[in-house]
Structure 1
Amino acid sequence: MKSTLFAALFVAAGMTGAYAQSSSASRAPARAPQACHSVTPQTCAIANALGRGINLGNMLEAPVEGQWGVKLEPAYIDIVAGAFTTVRLPVRWSNHAAPTADATLDEAFAKRVDQVVDALLAKGVYVILDMHHYSQLSGSALHWNEFPVEPAVLEPRLVNMWRQIAVRYKDRSPKLLFELLNEPTGRLDGEPWNELAPQVLAVVRASNPTRTVLIGPGEWNGIPALSKLRLPADRNLIVSIHNYDPFPFTHQGVEHLATPFPVGATCCDAAQRKALTNALDTARKWSQEKGYPLHLGEFGTHHVADMKSRETYARMVRDEAERRGIGWTYWEFASPAFGMYSPKTGTWLEPIRRALLD
């Protein structure tokens, strides 16, 4: 899920009740081709193949695995690979690396990530390996059990973590994609991220010259920030965007927001749908002008929302993204807060599964 402060960025999106009712597979919208004139044919093919995906969230990006109520169990690999084409794997590498500029990775943790990456690749899915929740880099408050580092080493640590990660996975399948940083924001918004991202990409390219890499804009990977994004000169990039509109609905009852939204908001009316379609149209227009394909890396709903509205929202975002040819990864699989699968019962939350996959 997305961090807390996404609220400042996004407001309303949605669809009519009639739209929500039409949930048959036959209604799947025709897919538009992605814009790809600035990338290689291989990267274009990957962008178009990512399709429907899921985030294995709140597991390896917790400060300590299990701290946020769920661990990445081996059985989850089979479950997600059997349902989705793509799995996004958020990892908090920064809390498992030396606090010094060299950021030497903890080998035991890195091997844990290896196991998950290799198990997913063995199932034939695309894997987006994501640098997630390096809180201090954006100037955000540290999570419990997340250690601080000296400000002078924040950016060098990001570069050197990726230097090691890239070498570690340089011989893996092209179905493994790297995402340089989840939701840059705060002190990274605008030019700071435009200047840092090429440095990180350069160390990746030293060992992975053609691997597909995802880079998103600042302001929490927000669509409005695409206009400020300056991409490095590289033909193997996909641009990651996130959208949780309508935010008062998707994040109702989330207690860690500065001003929590009240419970009871529903989705999705015509005005809400128009807000979402306008945002996705803005993203697609940017993509067509710049020639870089898009991936919707996150969208989802907090569990306190009513299930019918959660189903309606999931179907809406899925259909509107696919109508524009944009692959997606839902936030998320099995956490208590935003999950679509119950570890306690070992079953999907069927209305959400149906909305995303049927």
Structure 2
Amino acid sequence: MNIPFRFLGLFLLAALAIFSCGETEDPKPIIFAVSTNAVQFEAGSQIISITSNSIWTIEAASSWLEVTPTSGTGNSQITLKASSTTLSEVREASVKLSSEAKVELISVKQDAKAPSLPSYYIPSHATGMRDISNLELAKEMGIGWNLGNSLEAIGGETAWGNPKTTKELIGVIKSAGFNSVRIPVAWSKFTHAETFEIDPAWMARVQEVVDYVVDDDMYVVMNIHWDEGWMQPTFAKQNYVNDRLEKMWIQIALNFRDYDDHLLFAGTNEVMVDGDYSTPKPEYYQAQNSFNQTFVDAVRSTGGRNTYRNLVVQTFNTNIDHGVNFFIMPTDDTERRLMVEVHYYDPYEFSLKEDEVITQWGEHATDPSKTASWGGESYADGQFQQVKTKFVDNGIPVLLGEYAATDKKAEDNDTYRKYYLKHLSKSAKEHGLVPFYWDNGFGGDYGSALFNRSSGVQLYPDLIEAIISAGQ
């Protein structure tokens, strides 16, 4: 085809236009970036900037983390909001941001809640506290003795017939071979009944008796004892008891905070529903387990040496079987500083019942009519083995806080009392328990005293020797 020269320019322009219409423009690059890929904060909210020229969406894989907005287009800001936490550990979540061609992940960490320290707290310190475990300290406690029916007497120290405790009496206990003293205390002597403020004069008297023992280089286990039975383990009373228990133990712990590890606190005593010695309902032992936790938390909240003090918690009604079946060990931020307490008065017919029927015990008994049909040596050994397996073998010392055989004044009773106490003391020690004999200060019929509280004279030297020899 011949194209005149004058039309050649127009032809080339048309061809170029046709060629250009067939080309595709280069796509715009997708921009998508976040201001940070890691966020850490305790509470409140954090803002993250998004730089984008496209549509984006957000997914947050956590119920405690709120993200707004969850989608958008172009440049924007998103807000990360964490719900409040009471956790003592950091919790983590991830946030996924997706655009048309790119994904960004944001790691979110929420700091543990900073502890709110009470005004009475002082920094923890172990000055004067030896760096030994609870098991090691328990071994040093040796054989223990109870200052029974004195400081726990409702109405005052002498209200149940015993004289005021003296330093001389404690010296006699030490000389006899005991290395620990359990001091039951009724603390409900208040200057203000609604705030449970303990009478300063009573606090000072208890401290005076504690000092008698500590000054003799002996161990003290000091508790809140029966105290008219206000510590009822029911759901109806649970909040009241925990509140009162906390307020009382904070006061006690603050007063004795500067004592070294020769002083142990025991939170409760024989917690049970009045008159009900049967297997506890779940309500009962759940409430009682909460009392143990309240006690531990209250003491630890005071700081200082109390951070490292050995604390004693009890099984339900201090019963061995209930302890094996229903006891839950309280949580404690301080490691290896908790002990468990049980009591033993089996068989009841021999050890406590006030009559002259069952006066013999054990394999040497000569009269079946004077011997209980249960609770002999193998039974006692089996009970202590249960405790050893459940607690001692798992690093938790056990105090046998009370055991005794009352004096029935039968002609042959003392022989069997001696054998009973020797066997129990020896078996307890062999199974890793720390035994504390229950001395109520009364040496008459159905009493369990070993010493005359006024003179310090040993009322039953053979029984004392039987108990002490078990720890040698």
Quick check: TM above 0.5?
yes
1:41 Cα deviation from its structure 2 partner: 4.0
- Show the counterpart of 1:334: 441
| Contact 1:266–1:309, Cα closer than 8 Å, also in 2 | yes
Secondary structure of 1:340 counterpart: coil
AA in 2 matched with 1:184: V
1:205 to 284, 290, 300: 300
Structure 1 partner of 2:403: 299
How far apart are the structure 1 equivalents of 2:285 and 2:394?
A: 18
TM-score (norm 2): 0.60
Letter in 1 for 2:226: H
* Equivalent position amino acid for 2:463 in 1: I
Distance in 2 of aligned mates of 1:237 and 1:311: 32
The answer to whether structure 1 residue 169 and structure 2 residue 256 are counterparts is yes
Deviation at 1:110, TM superposition (A): 0.8
Residues 153 and 189 (structure 1), Cα distance of their counterparts in 2 relative to 1, 3 Å cut:
closer
C-alpha separation in 2, matches of 1:176 and 1:343: 23
Give the superposition deviation at 1:122: 0.9
- Report which stretch shifted further, 122-131 or 283-292: 283-292
Q: Partner amino acid for 1:342?
A: N
Q: Residue in 2 aligned with 1:84?
A: 178
Does 1:214 pair with 2:312?
yes
3-state SS of paired residue (1:215): strand
Unaligned runs of 5+ in 2: 1-130, 275-282, 365-373
Q: Name the Cα RMSD after superposition.
A: 2.3
Alpha-carbon displacement from aligned partner over 1:7-54 (angstroms, at most 9, x marks no partner) = xxxxxxxxxxxxxxxxxxxxxxxxxxxxxxxxx843222112111010
The equivalent residue for 2:457 is 347
Q: Pick one of 343, 346, 349 that aligns with 1:242.
A: 343
Say whether 1:269 aligns with 2:269. Answer: no
Gaps of 5+ in 1: 1-39, 141-149, 254-260
Local SS of the residue matching 2:423 = helix
Q: Percent identity, aligned pairs only?
A: 24
Structure 2 residue 427 is the aligned partner of structure 1 residue 320: yes
Match of 1:357 in 2: 468
Mapping of 1:27-176 within 5 angstroms? 41-63=132-154, 64-71=156-163, 72-82=165-175, 83-94=177-188, 96-98=189-191, 100-139=193-232, 153-176=240-263
CA contact (8 A) 2:134 2:396 kept: no
Q: Report deviation, 1:69.
A: 1.4
Q: Which moved more, 1:40-49 or 1:79-88?
A: 40-49
Distance in 2 separating the partners of 1:288 and 1:54 = 21
- Change in Cα spacing, 1:351 to 1:101, as seen in structure 2 (3 Å) is same
Matched letter for residue 212 of structure 1: N
- SS of 1:61's partner is coil
Report which of the two has the higher share of strand: 2
- How many residues are matched? 301
Match of 1:339, as an amino acid?
A
| Per-residue Cα deviation, 1:94-145 (whole angstroms, up to 9, x for no partner) | 2x125634210111111111111112111100110111113333449xxxxx
AA at the equivalent of 1:215? V
One-letter code aligned to 1:199: T
Paired letter, 1:217? T
Which residue identity does 1:326 align to in structure 2? Answer: L
Of Structure 1 and Structure 2, the greater helix share is in 1
- Name the SS for the 2:429 alignment partner: helix
Q: Secondary structure at the match of 1:331?
A: strand
Separation in structure 1 between the aligned mates of residue 232 and residue 331 of structure 2, nearest angstrom: 27
Deviates most, 129-138 or 220-229: 129-138
Per the alignment, residue 224 of structure 1 pairs with: 321
State the secondary structure of the residue aligned to 1:190.
helix
Which structure's relative contact order is higher, taking Cα pairs within 8 Å and 6+ residues apart?
Answer: 1
For residues 279-290 of structure 1, the aligned pairs below 5 Å read: 279-288=383-392, 290=394
Q: Find the aligned partners of 1:323 and 1:41 in 2 and give their Cα distance.
A: 21
What is the CA deviation profile of residues 289-316 of structure 1, one whole-angstrom value per residue up to 9, with x for unaligned ones?
A: 6431111111001122521111111101
